[in-house]
């Protein structure tokens, strides 16, 4: 699959998606579904690649995406009524220049009873999210406290991404003769 959209502003071109190839790795998930690996292919020269991933940790255990509805219930029961840590890493790459950062947030989920958890799972929303919840969706109502980055918990820490762009990559995007343009671009991020 290859999807590209070009955005040009102040002489910059970015891609919102890069080509990926879905590869069967010859393994099965516990639910019997096929394990796939996504291999990046043919990143165009000059393409800015931004990638992020989120991990939920409680008591030193990583809570990934639920395998099924039963696992979603287990994960939600684990985080209900307590605080957990959300780590979201972001990486930017442009023509071999790489910059990375991690946003760390503490999220407290209110106590949740069984019927509330079951009703949330029935929406399907938690089934593709680390820790089995999405703060930007219905589960936002379960968040009693957030210390850190809301956008990081959602999956792309905007502050850290902008800081990486300012510190590491904008000088690669604009020629040296356009210093005033660079200053204006940095201020806009």
53 labelled catalytic:
yes
Name the catalytic one among 39, 53, 68, 95.
53
| Residue 19 phi, psi (nearest 5) | -70, 135
Residue 28, number of CB atoms within 10 A of its CB: 10
Which of 89, 71, 69, 73 is closest to 160 using CA atoms? 89
Do 100 and 90 form a contact (C-beta atoms < 8 A)?
A: yes
Helix (H, G, I), strand (E, B) or coil at 139: helix
C-alpha distances out from residue 7 to 15, 64, 74, 138, 141, Å: 7, 33, 42, 32, 35
Residue 70, number of CB atoms within 10 A of its CB: 10
List residues with catalytic annotation.
53
């Amino acid at each position: 699959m290859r999807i590209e959209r070009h955005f040009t502003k102040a002489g910059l071109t970015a891609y919102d998606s890069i080509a990926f190839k879905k590869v069967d790795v010859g393994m099965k998930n516990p639910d019997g579904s096929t394990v796939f690996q996504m291999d990046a292919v043919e990143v165009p020269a000059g393409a800015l690649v931004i990638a992020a991933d989120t991990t939920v940790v409680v008591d030193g255990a990583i809570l990934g995406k639920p395998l099924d509805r039963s696992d979603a219930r287990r994960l939600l029961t684990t985080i209900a009524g307590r605080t957990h840590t959300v780590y979201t890493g972001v990486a930017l790459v442009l023509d071999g220049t790489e910059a990375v950062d991690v946003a760390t947030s503490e999220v407290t989920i209110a106590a949740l009873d069984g019927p509330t958890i079951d009703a949330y799972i029935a929406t399907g929303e938690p089934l593709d999210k680390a820790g089995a919840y999405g703060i930007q969706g219905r589960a936002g109502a379960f968040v009693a406290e957030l210390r850190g980055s809301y956008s990081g918990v959602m999956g792309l820490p905007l502050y850290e991404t902008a800081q990486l762009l300012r510190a590491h990559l904008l000088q690669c995007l604009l020629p040296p003769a356009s210093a005033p343009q660079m200053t204006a671009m940095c201020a806009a991020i």
